[in-house]
A and B are shown apart, each in its own frame.
Chain A
Amino acid sequence: MLSIVFGDVENAVYHPPTYFDNTYLDEWITDPRTREMIRDVDKSEVVSARAIDSPFLGSISVRELSGGVKTLILMLFDDSGRIFNASSCGDNCAKWICRIAREKDLTINLHHVMDFSSCDGFEAYMINTGRTVKSFEEYLDEALSIEER
């Protein structure tokens, strides 16, 4: 189940890519789900735990992955209890956030209204208002009423 909290909150990581660079584990990178996310979002292939083949940048390190994909990987694997700022993710990451939230309870922090319209059967618990929304339209109404960003 996906939970969303808008605005500054305790225990949140404002810039997940930096946190990722200093905490990621090799086995996260070679996990099939990570490979798929990197292929879809970054259009790149995982060669090994320490090498990525990017069509734009050539052979790159894990640290040169996009901020969005680093944040997704943290959402999938990090077990520190921290909440990651999904405003580091573009809308092309939205479907992956929804997919991760189907596997586990996931709480994300947002500082802008993310576009989840591409996610079928979107459902989320809105922590700021205490309401569960069961469609993108309901989410949008709820998100636009929230002052915190």
Chain B
Amino acid sequence: MRGSHHVVVQNRRVRFEFSVRRNVTIVRGDSATGKTTLMSLIEAYDRLGDASGVEVVCDRRCVAINNANWEAVLAGASSCIVFLDEDVSAAKTPEFARRVRESDNYYVIITREDLPNLPYSVDEIYGIHTSGKYADLRRTYNSFYRIYEPDEPREMGPVETVITEDSNSGHQFVKAVCAADINVTSAYGKSNVRKLLSKHKGQRVLVIADGAAFGPEMGDVHLFAKAHPEVGVYLPESFEWVILDSGVIDGNRIKDILDHTEDFVESGEFFSWERFFTHLLVQETKDTYLRYTKAELNSAYLNGRVLESVLAAMGQVGSLLLRQGEAATERDGPRDRAETSGDASKSGDKE
């Protein structure tokens, strides 16, 4: 399944209206915001159709699953929007994650749990808020809002430590760009980021991770950053997305894909958009001087216009890293960026 799908669910008392555009959407937030009410309306309509008194308007079938029937329902569900309430403990199992990966459904999961087996996006974690009462004063209107707004980290002073989620090309790029006195360290897996944050408590830390799949870690990292204002978090979709967004590959066609990614990602083929962007970048650069591999950074990304474009695409974070790098060069003399990056995957990090 691909594309963005608008859903309206209502009865005489309440109306919910929202869109889903990736394979996994998470709904959480305060108690008493209507999550269970939404779920009970979907469940009633799924069971009884129009005779439930509930109206569901969507171009895809909306189905509700529970602990007892989820395997049977998913076996017969295709191109559906599947809803789960927080009592479905199966949602955190590897088996459920496998079924999500192999299916072409979209899933709307009501939960406060991290669900580490599902690589969902930080942009698809929502709360529900009441928008008010409009045309019909007897009906309350509810919509989704993003819990973690995808803005850049607040203005930071000089960074002491950069934590990246793995040691792949993105890490190698950051390590090559950063001044030698910045500790660039890999968490070797996104689930280790929170432990590294605790380890570097008190330092000015910048976390750089792939937002397209960082959802399971976001609750912890957000809480930590809230309690420690010296911590900044930068979550582009992925490093590959940054390169694609920088304009170094092609003009309008790539831009169109990035502007409407949901129309290009087949959910049954790509478990997360992170994998789609990697696939796209590898395909677009093969047989060119910018040939991209995830495991080892092509040194062409560390030179001249390409380097400048990628840093510019990183916005405020790119400027910050560049500023610190230039200050260090002025102080200590130039470094060979290609050499700095090339051995990252072999020799490990500074720690």
Which residues in A have some Cβ–Cβ distance to B below 8 Å? Answer: 14-15, 17-18, 41-43, 56-58, 66-69, 87-93, 111-113, 115, 117, 136-137, 140-141, 144-145, 149
| Closest chain B CB from A96 CB (angstroms) | 10
- Across the interface, do B227 and A140 meet the contact criterion of CB distance under 8 Å? yes
- Across the interface, do B198 and A43 meet the contact criterion of CB distance under 8 Å? no
Cα distance, A136 to B201, chains bound together (Å) = 15
| Closest chain B CB from A52 CB (angstroms) | 11
Chain B residues in 8 Å Cβ range of A92: 30-32
Provide the main secondary structure of the chain B interface. mixed
Q: Per a CB cutoff under 8 Å, which of B14, B87, B113, B226 touches A57?
A: B14
Scan B84-115; emit 1 where CB is below 8 A from any A CB, else 0.
00110100100000000000000000001110
- Across the interface, do A56 and B34 meet the contact criterion of CB distance under 8 Å? yes
Q: Per a CB cutoff under 8 Å, which of A18, A56, A90 touches B87?
A: A18
Partner-binding segment picked from B216-224, B285-293, B311-319? B216-224
Chain B residues in 8 Å Cβ range of A115: 223
- Across the interface, do B194 and A66 meet the contact criterion of CB distance under 8 Å? no
Chain B residues in 8 Å Cβ range of A89: 31
> Is B203 positioned at the interface, with any CB of A under 8 Å from its CB?
no
> Is B130 positioned at the interface, with any CB of A under 8 Å from its CB?
yes
> Is B37 positioned at the interface, with any CB of A under 8 Å from its CB?
yes
- Across the interface, do A111 and B31 meet the contact criterion of CB distance under 8 Å? no
- Across the interface, do A57 and B37 meet the contact criterion of CB distance under 8 Å? yes
Chain A residues in 8 Å Cβ range of B114: 112, 149
> Is B140 positioned at the interface, with any CB of A under 8 Å from its CB?
yes
- Given that A66-B36, A67-B36, A144-B194 are contacting pairs, would A113 and B219 also be in contact in the complex, using a CB cutoff of 8 Å? yes
Cα distance, A87 to B92, chains bound together (Å) = 14
| Closest chain B CB from A70 CB (angstroms) | 9
Cα distance, A111 to B201, chains bound together (Å) = 24
| Closest chain B CB from A107 CB (angstroms) | 19
| Closest chain A CB from B163 CB (angstroms) | 14
Q: Per a CB cutoff under 8 Å, which of A66, A88, A137 touches B227?
A: A137
> Is B146 positioned at the interface, with any CB of A under 8 Å from its CB?
no
Chain A residue nearest to B89 in the complex (CB):
A14
Chain A residues in 8 Å Cβ range of B197: 144
List 30 interface pairs A-B (beta carbons < 8 Å), by A numbering: A14-B89, A15-B89, A17-B36, A17-B87, A18-B87, A43-B32, A56-B14, A58-B13, A66-B32, A66-B36, A67-B31, A68-B30, A68-B31, A69-B32, A87-B86, A87-B112, A87-B113, A89-B31, A90-B30, A90-B31, A111-B92, A112-B113, A113-B219, A115-B223, A117-B226, A137-B227, A140-B224, A141-B198, A141-B201, A149-B116
